[in-house]
Amino acid sequence: MSNQTAIVVGAGILGLATARALAQKGYEVTVIEKSQFSLGASVRNFGMLWPVGQPDGKLYDRAVRTREIWLEYLNTSKIPYNSCGSLHLAYSEEEMNVVEEIGSFFKSKNRPVSVISNKTVLENYHGINEEGLLGALRSEDETIIDPRQGIKHLPEYLTAQFQVKFIWGTAITSVTSNAAYAGKVKYSADIICVCSGADFETLYQDQFKQQPIIKTKLQMMRFKHKDPNYKIGASVCGGLSLLHYKSFTASSSLTKLRMKIEAEMPEYLKYGIHVMVSQNSDGELTVGDSHEYALDFEPFDKIEINTMILEYLKKLMHIDQWEMTQSWNGIYPIMTNGATDLFLNPEAGVYILNGIGGHGMTMSFGFAEEMINHI
């Protein structure tokens, strides 16, 4: 394919991934972004590439492919990252049963996981709360990128490697076949890809309202340790995360764990809280998060949510030497029917990529490749 042109609306991670996939197919690509730089949910997350959370098959393969593309970019651009893997810590019999079942299941699928003892955890990782610790699921796949750096430099990489052009500070107000308009200014192309939740809602209101889609608000915090050399050695989460990710539904013991948490911690489920900590290559610690669902949100964070996150974190980590440096929230669209993504063709030459939920860092590159290959 040659001399074919494409416009991508939105410069979040999904828009950038789509631009790359189009360029690889031979399109001349222009990305148009209403802001001066990426500042949405793509830069307000853990920076986790998290294959362990994806169920076996297409979604896990998509996550692994996304990780391959990330590492290609990061290594070429000499951007630091932390290939530290992950720990799902178990502090109850119910959690340990899930860990053991999932560990056995994942190993049968040749995933790089193991079930490790509490002794092994404490000998190899730092800052873990030893009280009541039974063991953990160790996975080697997970990688941490500071999304603020990773997303910031990605447009430069796409321009250098794939000749992608960028138009910043320009809001697309309407789209038709073969054209995107910023007010009266027309940008023509053979295909238009709309890759921003907000732009989808604005540009195709009727289609947006017809979809089983809602928005999710999450709250997060960042810390630094008083010891600048402090390294955990892995991304860390606990039993709440076993309920959050679809990959763990392969465990028959998950139902008992859910019943225990529903009885003991209903307020955590009310706010969709599952607590994780990631550490970037600069040693900064990102902690979260929560999930409130609506079509619109007040802009204010709930202090009780951050407090609940930190109270649970204390069950997993020793945090007395951590100092909070930032707190924020992010909003992204998610499908309510259990679908993992949304790909629409509302009119000739126009494609909408959306609904990837909270898995943008983990899934976008692979998802975009698959969808563009359908065009």
* pLDDT tens-digit map of 144-175: 998 888 888 999 999 999 999 999 999 999 99
Look at residue 1 in the predicted model and tell me its pLDDT: 45
Q: Are 234 and 114 in contact (CB under 8 A)?
A: no
Q: What is the mean pLDDT of residues 274-288?
A: 93
- Class of CATH domain 86-140+213-335: alpha beta
**Would you say residue 321 has pLDDT above 80?**
yes
- pLDDT band at residue 2 under the 50/70/90 scheme: low
Report residue 32 as tokens: 């148009």
Mean pLDDT of 130-145: 96
Helix 360-374 × helix 58-77 angle, to 10°: 100
Is the confidence at residue 197, as pLDDT, over 80?
no
Residue 307: the pLDDT is 97
Rounded to whole angstroms, how far apart are CA atoms 164 and 134? Answer: 50
pTM, rounded to two decimals: 0.93
pLDDT score recorded for residue 270: 95
* All residues at 6 or more sequence positions from 12 whose CB lies less than 8 Å from its CB, including other chains: 38, 40, 41, 42, 151, 195, 196, 360
Question: What local confidence, expressed as pLDDT, does residue 43 receive?
Answer: 67
More confident residue, 207 or 257: 257
CA R_g for the chain: 21
Least confident range from 85-89, 147-151, 361-365: namely 147-151
| 256-270: average pLDDT | 97
**H or E element that contains 163:** none
The answer to whether the beta carbons of residues 307 and 327 sit under 8 Å apart is no
Q: Which CATH architecture has domain 5-44+148-211+339-374?
A: 3-Layer(bba) Sandwich (3.50)
Mean pLDDT of 70-93: 96
| Between 338 and 275, residue with greater pLDDT | 275
Report pLDDT for 40.
63
Q: What are the sequence ranges of the domains in the chain?
A: 5-44+148-211+339-374, 86-140+213-335
Average pLDDT of span 192-221: 88
Tell me what pLDDT residue 295 has. Answer: 87
Distance CA 329, CA 289 (A): 9
Q: Which run of H or E residues covers position 318?
A: none
Mean pLDDT of 289-309: 93
What pLDDT digit, counting tens, does each position of 101-131 carry? 999 999 999 999 999 999 999 999 999 999 9
Element of type H or E holding 216 = strand 213-225
Q: What is the pLDDT of residue 358?
A: 79
| DSSP category for residue 317 | B
Q: How far apart are CA 325 and CA 210, in angstroms?
A: 41
pLDDT given for residue 146 in this prediction: 85
3-state per-residue secondary structure call for 24-57: HCCCEEEEECCCCCCCCHHHCCCCEECHHHCCCC
Distance CA 258, CA 94 (A): 9
